[in-house]
Amino acid sequence: MSQQRCADPVPSFRAMFRFFIPLAMTSFLILLSHALMNAGIARLSQPELYLAAFALAKSLYQVIQAPTMIVRQCISGLTRDCQSYLVSRRVFTWVVLAVIGVFLLVSYTPIGLFIFERVMGNSRELSRAALLMVRIIMWLQFAWLMRDGYGPAAIRLRETYILPTATFVRTIFTMLCVFILSRYSFAHDVLIPGIIFTLTGFIEGFTVWAMVKYRIRDYLARLDFLPRAGETVRTLTARQVVVFSFPVLIMSLLRSVSDPVINTGLAHTASPELALAAYAVGWSVVLCVLDTSAMLHQVVLGFMDAQYRNRIRILQFSGILAAIQVAALALMIFTPLGAFILRDLLGSGEALTQLSMGVMAVALPLPLVVNLREYYWGVAMLERKTRWMSTGKIVQLISLSAGVLLLVLSGGRLSNPAIIAPLALGTSMLAEALTLALVHYRLKGRL
């Protein structure tokens, strides 16, 4: 089965910003909802225990749910028409069911307590609290199936306002829960963090599902008219979905290794506690800017034509976005705003604030590198050559490890050892982006 698509005109910057800004807002609102979640837990009867247990539960939860964290990304990348969308969504439905099975095995057998108590070295009380939370939040997989199974249809049809709307509803509900917890106390409140996290997730997932089903009533029919000039769309099979998704999963797992590599390096500097703290504080502010690019690859998927005539336009858009992000970082670095955020909002001391500002200053050019990498991620997904992404991530991890090692060895001459992290991250991300660009150029004869 094949059919030709109509040509997509050269997109305007206005159209691309209208498409992209809601996606960037979604990332920000997710960060806000997580911060509010921690604020709510801090109002329970044993805040230290429950905050620690929730962090432990989420760490195990994120490891087990790794195959479902890539659902939105993969369905968006695979969707060319209605048939490809339905096949990829069906495959990931089975993946979600398999992940639920793993959660049941871990949380209702001695495996869960063994991991928390023996492997992670936590107390029995903390381990039991974390395990109770895992037994609740594991059901979020069905919420994410609604959100990430139907969200890609909204993205591919350029109805991206649906995603931040759903996340905004989730954030409002989280704020309501924090207000209730500040006024009332509950028995057995060890269950409260998992219940709130799960309820808010289902509210977000249900909102996406309802808006796609009832705001875009003909979404399946409209998917058959996606503007991909000159592209022949062939029937997608379940095997092709797996082949496409596996390298993305490997890339996702490799990304989770970056933080331990950096933390290990900083732990071997002359002032490890100060270096780790400065990196954690400064990088958290930098991420608020960089994370707005997390969905930039969707611009490539949504606006690139089959002959790549729009590539210069999309690269220009990526450059404009990077310039805005660099300006935002520069505003914080070269004005009192940065010190105000670090010292007054985040509660850092004077010495820690100065070192964290150094981390932010070194990270100033990173938006250019991150956006270039996101562009080539989008190209790889468009070509259904996702193995390029995992290859690039391997290069990035090797470069990061080498960079951290070299900088740590020369760290005695650095007045601020915390800058090792952004220096190593920046060079390794650049190596990854250049690897993707060179692979694409070698195979396609264009950048």
- Please state the three-class secondary structure of 118-164 as a single string: HHCCCCHHHHHHHHHHHHHHCCHHHHHHHHHHHHHHHHHCCCCCHHH
Position 2 scores a pLDDT of: 39
CA atoms within 13 A on the CB side of 127: 16
Global pTM value: 0.84
Tell me: pLDDT of 164 over 90.
yes
Q: Say how far apart CA 72 and CA 302 lie, in whole Å.
A: 14
- Of 307, 209, 231, whose CA–CA distance to 79 is shortest? 231
Local confidence band at 1 (pLDDT 50, 70, 90 cut-offs): very low
Position 176 scores a pLDDT of: 92
pLDDT tens, residue by residue, 60-116 = 888 888 888 889 989 998 888 899 999 999 999 999 999 999 999 999 999 988 988
Question: How far are the Cα atoms of 122, 127, 340 from residue 112, in angstroms, in the given order?
Answer: 12, 9, 42
- Percent of the chain clearing pLDDT 90 (strictly above): 39
Position 41 scores a pLDDT of: 84
Local confidence band at 3 (pLDDT 50, 70, 90 cut-offs): very low
Give burial (CB, 10 Å; 0-12/13-18/19+) of 420: buried
Q: Say how far apart CA 315 and CA 223 lie, in whole Å.
A: 25
Contacts of 147 (CB under 8 A, 6+ apart): 72, 166, 201, 204, 205, 208, 209
Higher pLDDT, 172 or 3: 172
Q: Cβ(382)–Cβ(244) under 8 Å?
A: no
Q: If you average pLDDT over residues 349-376, what whole number do you get?
A: 91
Position 4 scores a pLDDT of: 39
**Greatest Cα-to-Cα distance within the chain, rounded to the nearest angstrom:** 65
Average pLDDT value over all residues in the chain: 86
Local confidence band at 187 (pLDDT 50, 70, 90 cut-offs): confident
- Percent of the chain clearing pLDDT 70 (strictly above): 94
Tell me: pLDDT of 186 over 80.
no
Position 442 scores a pLDDT of: 76
Position 233 scores a pLDDT of: 53
Local confidence band at 131 (pLDDT 50, 70, 90 cut-offs): very high
Higher pLDDT, 34 or 355: 355
Position 343 scores a pLDDT of: 84
